[in-house]
Structure 1
Amino acid sequence: MKQVRSLINNLWRREDTTLSPYLADPQRLSDVIAAIQAMATYKFYKLSFEEWADRMSADKSQAGKWKVVFLEHPEFFRLDSARVRASLVWRRQFPKRYDVDEERVLTAAEYRILPLEQQARVSRVPLSPSDIKALVDTAVNLHSRALEHRKDKRWWVALAGAAGGLLGSVIGTLVG
């Protein structure tokens, strides 16, 4: 009986260590959605963890939390080569031609003639509401699948309980 309990405990622990990032933190889905919304619409597409934390939580000390969210969800977020700034993958696919001051897309010719200090004020175009909805729907679907997967992995609990009951009956019959 001790071995059965040990086996069940080991299986339970192994299940917990392979959690989807969506299930690792009860607030994760809402954090991912908040990050998608903020990163999809803010005038600059790439900021430091502290700057994103300030935008999303109004608390720069939350930078570590947001870095974990970005790292654990590569389906939505990427870090720059120095690994100090994060951006939304979908937004990175657009050319850097969005003038954040004029709130318009520049032509290639307009961008080429900008002085370097003005080029620093050019970002990638913000995503449309339908693009944002697609990303949020994807996050919700991935979260739902993770919940279903966790539920499906628990079939062994009922089986272990039944096996334990059967084993107890057999031992009881043999001893008694």
Structure 2
Amino acid sequence: MSKNQKNPYTENDNRLADVIAAIQVMGTYKFYKLDFSGWADRIEGKEDLGNYWKAIFEQHPEFFRLDSKQERASLVWRRNYQKLYDVDEETKISREAYKGLTDDQKKRISRTPLTNSDISTLINTAINLHGGELDHKKDSRWWISGAIGLAGVILGAAIKAYAA
């Protein structure tokens, strides 16, 4: 990330909370991938915020990915699992059983939801990344207090020299 580019974790005061909310919902919802309005509705009950959530998904590729058409988003970790989760029965099915399904039945098969431990790991990662960015932002301003002090000394010296 270039020095002039804002970091998504520090540009929005609610960003960490939004990332955590998205991880929780996207990790446990029966379907692993939805369009942006669908995720907006699931995460905060406001379908019209689809563009806001699209931006969050795009700015956090460490957690989220868009499909090839850039129309739907999913959680990276969950994409790692095979599509063998029957959303109606809430159970995992075998590969052989999946092969025997009709196209309509396959639409009801998703990727396995994440465990509480998986979600906890992702949330801790988000918190650590956010904390690291806050530390980096703080570290990048180390010179400000010194510069203000130096400016005060120079100003004081100039005033004293002018008054003399």
Q: Same fold (TM over 0.5)?
A: yes
1:128 aligns with 2:136: no
Name the count of aligned residue pairs: 162
Residue equivalent to 2:93:
106
The correspondence for 1:166, drawn from 153, 156, 164, is 153
Map 1:43-62 → 2, pairs under 5 A: 43-62=30-49
Q: Match of 1:135, SS? A: helix
Structure 1 segments, 4+ long, off by >4 Å, are: none
Structure 1 length normalisation: TM-score? 0.87
Distance in 1 between the 2:81 and 2:117 partners? 16
1:78 aligns with 2:65: yes
Give structure 1 stretches of 5+ with no counterpart.
1-13
Q: Match of 1:97, SS? A: strand
Q: How many angstroms does 1:91 deviate by?
A: 0.2
Distance in 2 between the 1:72 and 1:80 partners? 15
Residue equivalent to 2:8:
21
Q: Match of 1:54, SS? A: helix
Q: How many angstroms does 1:158 deviate by?
A: 1.0
The correspondence for 1:30, drawn from 10, 17, 35, is 17
The correspondence for 1:87, drawn from 40, 55, 74, is 74
Q: Match of 1:127, SS? A: coil
Structure 2 length normalisation: TM-score? 0.93
CA RMSD in angstroms comes to 1.6
- Decide which structure has greater helix share: 1
What is the one-letter code of the residue matched to 1:25? N
What is the one-letter code of the residue matched to 2:84? R
